[in-house]
Amino acid sequence: MPALPIIRFPDPRLRTACAPVAAFDDDLHILASDLLDTMRAAPGVGITGPHIGILKRVVVIELSREDGVRTYINPEVLWSSEETMRHMEGSVSMPGATEEVVRPKSIRFRYQTIDGELREEDAHDFLASCIQHEIDQLDGIFWLQRLSKLKRDRLVKKWEKLRA
Structural domains in the chain? Answer: 12-163 (3.90.45.10)
Annotate 32-46 with three-state secondary structure: HHHHHHHHHHCCCCE
pLDDT recorded at residue 82: 98
Q: Cβ(5)–Cβ(34) under 8 Å?
A: no
Facing residues of 73 across strands?
58, 112
99-128 pLDDT, tens digit each: 999 999 999 999 999 999 999 999 999 999
Q: Cβ(77)–Cβ(32) under 8 Å?
A: no
134 tagged catalytic: yes
Name the pTM for this structure. 0.96
Catalytic position from the list 76, 117, 121, 134: 134
Distance (Å, rounded) from C-alpha 65 to C-alpha 43?
13
Distance (Å, rounded) from C-alpha 60 to C-alpha 149?
29
61-70 pLDDT, tens digit each: 999 989 899 9
